[in-house]
Homo-oligomer: A and B are copies of this chain.
Amino acid sequence: MSEHERSSLVVAEETRDDLNFLSGTGSRRAFLRGGAAATIATAVLAACKPGAKGADTTASVTGGTMPAVIPPTPRESADAMDAMHEKRMKAFPAKTEGKGNVLFEPRIENGVKIYEITAKKTPWEVTPGVKVEAWAYNGMVPGPQIRVREGDRVRVILHNELPESTVIHFHGVEVPNDQDGVGFMTQPPVKPGESYTYEFTAPNPGSHMYHSHHNSTKQVSLGLLGAFIIEPKNRANEPHADLDTVLILNDGLGGYTLNGKGFPATEPIVAKLGQTLRIRYMNEGMMIHPMHLHGMHMTVITKDGWPLPAPFRCDTLNIAPGERWDVLVKCTNPGTWAFHCHILPHAEAETGMFGMVTALIVKA
């Protein structure tokens, strides 16, 4: 990561760090604290060992003599660490306030699908007890999922209740230039307290996104992002899928998240044996995230909404910032399968799994 990148993330990371202190996951300082916690845990264990002088520690120290602390055995240290891991795993899927990426039901007027979006500061619970101050569309991160059909007339009305100007860019959607949402290039930015209306006919189908394109390094990192899916008019060529899910990857405010939540608050994907699952990956972060599915492979069918002429199979798909990839998973292997970013520090710490981890549950 460059100085540019580091600098832009500093505030978010310091915030995350403090938050991580609460949850025990994550950053360097949290690691140290985690280490300290582990030391305490093992010291307590040592104190409880038969014959240990642990109980006399305070008195001994007061009396000026060193206590005979017996260091924990590897087994005791392992048990202390494993207890943290187990607790994290058992908490999954953990309840948190707020759910992002909820399907957006439009208001329809004269055949136009109208999506009213308010951009506003919103407290957002990333993992249980860990709240960040997000900048959100309609109070959720990711913003509500817009799903229209190719040829639909679409109107998006943006109300800016943020302390900064903003705009909405429809990433991947081939709109007319004046609807592209780039501050000072295709429109003036929308000032705090003002509204702005975008309108276009849904063009190229596929898995796209909408997000801020004004002071975007900050605004997208804070949460101004969502899925914008255009279903094809002619569904004859669409591959069959029993389930259709969106997985928005992010590494801004709130740390490493899938659809706005970090493990164990991420949502598992539940399928029945034999079903076909479609996953639409979207990377709204600043880093790559190679997503790895256990137990089954993925068939990659589209790139940025465009069908691949030669779909290929894999179990680890590298998704770069701004990219969307659609895959199909034939759910042939029953069980609860880990599903995570394979940059390991995005998924597991000394204290257990966190961040970009979820599960695919295939029910027999």
Chain A residues near B (Cβ < 8 Å): 1-10, 13, 16-17, 26-31, 74-75, 77-79, 81-82, 85-86, 89-90, 162-165, 169, 171-172, 174-178, 180, 182-186, 189, 191-193, 204, 213-218, 220-221, 251, 255-256, 286-288, 290, 292, 294-297, 303-304, 306, 308-316, 318, 320-324, 333-338, 342-350, 355, 359
Q: Do the beta carbons of B320 and A318 come within 8 Å of each other?
A: yes
Contact, CB under 8 Å: A28 / B2: no
CA distance A222 to B165 in the complex (A): 37
- Known pairs A8-B349, A79-B191, A81-B164 / 12 extra A-B pairs, C-beta < 8 Å: A3-B13, A3-B27, A8-B344, A74-B192, A81-B165, A82-B189, A180-B294, A217-B344, A217-B349, A318-B318, A318-B323, A321-B342
Query: Given the complex of chains A and B, what is the CA–CA distance between A333 and B177 in angstroms?
Result: 8
List of 10 A-B pairs having minimum Cβ-Cβ separation, nearest first:
A177-B335, A322-B342, A7-B28, A306-B313, A318-B320, A310-B310, A74-B163, A89-B184, A316-B322, A74-B192
User: B residues within 8 A CB of A8?
Assistant: 31, 344-345, 349
A85-B184 contact given A13-B3, A78-B164, CB 8 Å threshold? yes
- Separation in Å of the A172 CB from the closest CB of chain B? 5
Work out how many copies of this chain go into the complex: 3
Tell me the nearest residue of chain B to A322, going by C-beta.
B342
Residue in B215, B320, B324 whose beta carbon sits within 8 Å of that of A288 in the complex: B320
Determine the residue in chain B with the shortest Cβ distance to A184: B89
Report how far A214 CA is from B17 CA in the complex, Å.
23
Distance of A255 Cα from B316 Cα, bound (Å): 23
Cα(A103)–Cα(B186), bound, Å: 33
The answer to whether B334 touches A177 (Cβ under 8 A) is: yes
Report yes or no: B78 in contact with A165, Cβ–Cβ below 8 A.
yes
Is A193 a contact of B290 with CB atoms below 8 Å? Answer: no
CB distance from A298 to the nearest CB of B (A): 9
Q: Is the CB of A4 within 8 A of B177?
A: no
Which of B213, B220, B312 sits near A309, CB closer than 8 Å? Answer: B312
